[in-house]
Amino acid sequence: MKAKELEQLLHKEIPISQAMGIEVEHLEKNTISIKAPFEKNKNIHNTAFAGSIYTTATLAGWSLLTNLLRENNLTGSVVLAKAEIRYLRPINSDIVANATLNNLTEIERLVSDQSSHPRLKIEQRIDLVEKNIIKAKMIAKFAIV
């Protein structure tokens, strides 16, 4: 998929992503960057809302794996099983979530051989970054079913 195509998919299929104003900034087979604009995603302290930070991160992780399946012409679905997030410092502007599949070759091998892994789990680390500083860190475990 192209970034714009993914963005339209998210807005169509996950209505709250449209309400959040989610933008797919960058998409390659092994890396993604997703943004949520500040004004729609702020909290009572006038910093980025913890729920929106989490959601932007999960959308990045989910999208990267969903794109990988599509690029490999596979039909599986990506489902979030578990996630942990640590908020290190407040985010004072747009929320940006970056995810990278460092072990792309291994993951492609696993997802291409799903019959051997009926409930394959893939762990991803997703960073929330503002001005090159990591403001929050997520570890998410996705299942491909």
Please give the residue ranges that form the binding site for a copy of itself (CB under 8 A).
Answer: 9, 13-17, 19-20, 39-45, 49-52, 54-55, 58-59, 62, 77, 79-87
CA–CA separation, 25 and 44 (whole Å): 27
Asked if 102 contacts 64 with a C-beta cutoff of 8 angstroms, the reply is no
Toward a copy of itself, which CB reaches closer, 34 or 101? 34
Run of H or E residues at 87: strand 78-87
Min separation Cβ 4 and a copy of itself, Å? 17
Toward a copy of itself, which CB reaches closer, 25 or 102? 25
Cβ neighbours, 10 Å, residue 43: 14
Min separation Cβ 118 and a copy of itself, Å? 17
